[in-house]
Amino acid sequence: MVGTGKKTPPPSPICPAMTDLFFWRSTPLAAMTDSQWESLCDGCGKCCLNKLEDEDTGDIHYTRVACQLLDLKTCRCTDYANRKTRVPDCLDLRELAADDFNWLPTTCAYRLLTEQKDLPDWHHLKTGRPGLVHKANCSVRGRAIHESAIDPDELEEHIIQWANP
């Protein structure tokens, strides 16, 4: 608006059609448009890592072993549209109850929002800079290998301990 002294923020480079740049603060996950939902993903790739669950405690242990479809450089799925057909145990978060998001990384937008928390300061929806997830050392870039590189029986040998899983 002219003369009010208020500056209108530029449209989000990730989802330019959105008029509410901070939609995640006011729109419940279940009410988000497909565009809003998809824009929440920070591209860390951690959800595409193989995980092991401790049968006694229920604790989730991440491995450095990534799904065959994960591009290890971009940390994005190489066939997102067909991922569930090509990888039958791939999960669609929209089909899960929010209570089932506890296995997601602690920095994941979907998990954070279900926990009533805000997005990290480096998140691309706040900064307009998608590459910050890598600079903040919150992605699997340079730290993961494809599942084809290991014997599936050796998955436990690849459990990792990251500061921000």
CA distances to 12, 31, 32, 118, 150 from 21, in Å: 7, 16, 13, 14, 42
Would you state the pLDDT for residue 5?
A: 46
Structure tokens at 155: 């998955």
**pLDDT confidence tier of residue 18, bands split at 50, 70 and 90:** very low
Structure tokens at 57: 């405690």
Q: Residue 62 pairs with which residues in a beta bridge?
A: 51
Q: What single string gives the DSSP state of each residue in 10-46?
A: PPPSS-TT-S-TTGGGTS-GGG--HHHHHHT-----G
Which residue, 56, 55, 84, is CA-closest to 69?
84
Would you state the pLDDT for residue 163?
A: 61
Q: Residue 97, SS3?
A: coil
Model pLDDT for residues 104-114, shown as the tens digit of each residue = 999 999 999 99
102: which residues sit within 8 A by CB, 6+ positions away? 60, 111
Would you state the pLDDT for residue 164?
A: 59
Model pLDDT for residues 70-88, shown as the tens digit of each residue = 999 999 999 999 999 999 9
Residue 28 identity (one-letter amino acid): P
Which residue reads 């006694």 in tokens? 56
**pLDDT confidence tier of residue 17, bands split at 50, 70 and 90:** very low
Model pLDDT for residues 1-10, shown as the tens digit of each residue = 344 444 444 4
Which residue, 88, 109, 87, is CA-closest to 98?
109
